[in-house]
Structure 1
Amino acid sequence: MTARLIAHLGFHKTGTKSVQKTLQANRDILDGHLHITLRADMHALCEATRAWSASRKPVDLAYVRYEAAELLAGWQDDVPMLISSEDLSGHMPGRRGLTTYDATPQLAEALVSAWTAARPDMDVTLVYTTRAPDPWLRSCHTQHLRAIRIKRSAQEYAETYARSADFDEIIADVRRRCPDVAVEEQKLEQSANLALGPLDPILDLTGLPPSVRTRMRPQPRANVGMPQAARDALLALNRSDLKGDAYRAARKALKKQHG
């Protein structure tokens, strides 16, 4: 029997955390049917892909290949492996000077090359969840507000990073670089009413028996959006003259206030 690897590689803010939260909550049910591999199970590989997306140094790409091969070192049976982490597509645009996902296709090529070399008998499927451009760009802006001192408004961010929402271009490049594997796109909007949300169409690719799938426990949606008042307050704080401890204290208070 041919081994199967299904790798859900991103993109950020397309339901990836909901997928991972549901997989984590159902590890006991999936045990023996799927090998679940999330960020905590492949921390070194995720750090390597993020590092290369920013540096583009050959040595960092070599490290990606090494860690990708190491990930499969202990996988000897034919139980399918399901991997999920948006970090495997590199940093989110807006971080480390990145303006698009132009690192993603070469990262996919490096991962597939390492995985198929480590286990030549394996079928690989790459999965990318996507989202309509306008809500995706707004969600990315909100994520940046949560994490860094971004000073652009949501509109300014959308104008600056519009090309990062061209998922068709990036996925087409992945397919050109990885012609021997299946590359699937799953649109987030199409999974809104499914029992397991964006995980459901990914599970369709795994061959998981229906009797196991029906036992899985749905989970609340992860990383829900912030109220507009919270986004406005964080942006105003980021644009203020506050620095150091005063800024950090104000930011902490805002996050506590708005949850």
Structure 2
Amino acid sequence: MTRILLHLGFHKCATSSAQAFLHENRERIWPTCALALPYRLRPIANKVFWYRFERDEAALADLHASMRAFIRDLNLTPNRNLILSSENLLGQMPLGTLDEPYPIAVPVVRALTSAFEAIAWPCELTVYFSTRAHDDWVRSVWGHQARKRRNVRITDDLETFRARLSKVSLHDQLARIRAALPDLHIVSEDIDALAGAPFGVAQPFVDFLRLPPAKLAEFTPPPRANQGPGLALAEQLIELNRSDLDPDALHAAKDALIGAHFGSAQELDDDEEEQVSR
């Protein structure tokens, strides 16, 4: 039987750190478990983004078909497991402009998970969501959106953004997904509760792998990846967004500000920046 772990986020819940851990240790993981991380899953994420814009059955069917084709192309056997991790498979990072953070989550998760029927032998599927305290999550999402250098130009202060993004809390969003998809095995972990685990936020993935201690001793611990700006820096980035700078000048100003703070301009997860293709 093939065991499958499908990690769908949420955004800003240590997803980048977990994915960096999986990538760094890929050669130790591959013999028993295939990996599909954000870069490899980007075409599927683009289908999710497209469905968010179209909201029609044709776009949803296209997503399902693309996921089935992706799964069929993987080098799987009945004795080889599979981990997939990409928060963008749930849609774009929330902006608080809609009634809930992830309004297309239920149909998208249903379309993605039903695609595993393409595997010709028995499978055991687990859908995993990493979570965190709602207020901390809002603060992190706000800081990340403030940092973006193109497409998104938010001007809200933190409290205004918090009010918009708290119509449905992160935990209520997860509860809605669970309630709508009762036949799925859905698990979640609060990233703060994982702080004391041997592999931190990567512990759920390590547990899934079921490797012997001697093999785990070879693993590199997870880094802290995609670190967000502190409150003061985020407020400065918001002020830049409120300026009359053109897009190129805004990009340069943000790079300079972020570089002065971190020592270099950090790379953003550009999958997120609405690179939609059909």
**What TM-score results when the alignment is normalised by the length of structure 1?**
0.91
Letter in structure 2 aligned against 1:60? A
SS across alignment from 2:224: coil
Deviation at 1:214, TM superposition (A): 2.5
Quick one: distance in 1 between partners of 2:254 and 2:242? 12
Deviation at 1:244, TM superposition (A): 4.0
SS across alignment from 1:186: strand
Letter in structure 2 aligned against 1:27? R
Q: Which moved more, 1:43-52 or 1:87-96?
A: 87-96
Alignment partner, residue 214 of structure 1: 217
Letter in structure 1 aligned against 2:257? L
Is the 8 Å Cα contact of residues 129 and 188 (structure 1) preserved in structure 2?
yes
Change (3 A) 1:211 1:182: farther
Alignment partner, residue 70 of structure 1: 69
SS across alignment from 2:128: strand
Deviation at 1:241, TM superposition (A): 2.4
Quick one: distance in 2 between partners of 1:134 and 1:253? 29
Partner of residue 194 from structure 1, selected from 197, 220, 224: 197
Q: Does 1:26 align with 2:29?
A: no
Alignment partner, residue 256 of structure 1: 259
Deviation at 1:253, TM superposition (A): 1.7
SS across alignment from 1:42: helix
SS across alignment from 1:81: strand
Is the 8 Å Cα contact of residues 33 and 79 (structure 1) preserved in structure 2?
yes
Quick one: distance in 2 between partners of 1:13 and 1:186? 13
Is the 8 Å Cα contact of residues 65 and 114 (structure 1) preserved in structure 2?
yes
Alignment partner, residue 114 of structure 2: 113
Quick one: distance in 2 between partners of 1:92 and 1:164? 15
Quick one: distance in 2 between partners of 1:6 and 1:42? 14
Change (3 A) 1:153 1:216: same
Alignment partner, residue 16 of structure 2: 17
Letter in structure 2 aligned against 1:92? M
Letter in structure 1 aligned against 2:233? A
Deviation at 1:204, TM superposition (A): 1.7
Aligned length: 257
Alignment partner, residue 128 of structure 1: 129
Deviation at 1:66, TM superposition (A): 1.1
Quick one: distance in 2 between partners of 1:257 and 1:119? 53
Q: Which moved more, 1:245-254 or 1:16-25?
A: 245-254
Deviation at 1:186, TM superposition (A): 0.8
Q: Which moved more, 1:3-12 or 1:75-84?
A: 75-84
Identity of aligned residues (%): 28
Change (3 A) 1:249 1:166: closer
List runs of 5+ in structure 2 lacking aligned partners.
263-278
Change (3 A) 1:119 1:142: farther
Alignment partner, residue 155 of structure 1: 159
Alignment partner, residue 274 of structure 2: none
Is the 8 Å Cα contact of residues 99 and 164 (structure 1) preserved in structure 2?
yes
Letter in structure 2 aligned against 1:144? Q
Is the 8 Å Cα contact of residues 202 and 222 (structure 2) preserved in structure 1?
no
Kindly report the root-mean-square deviation, in angstroms, between the aligned alpha carbons of the 2 structures.
2.0
Quick one: distance in 2 between partners of 1:178 and 1:71? 23
Deviation at 1:205, TM superposition (A): 3.0
* Cα shift readout 1:33-82 (whole Å, capped 9, x = no counterpart): 21111012222112112222333122221121012111221343121101
Partner of residue 173 from structure 1, selected from 166, 172, 176: 176
Deviation at 1:159, TM superposition (A): 0.4
Quick one: distance in 1 between partners of 2:135 and 2:182? 30
Change (3 A) 1:34 1:244: closer
Is the 8 Å Cα contact of residues 105 and 170 (structure 1) preserved in structure 2?
no
Change (3 A) 1:17 1:50: same
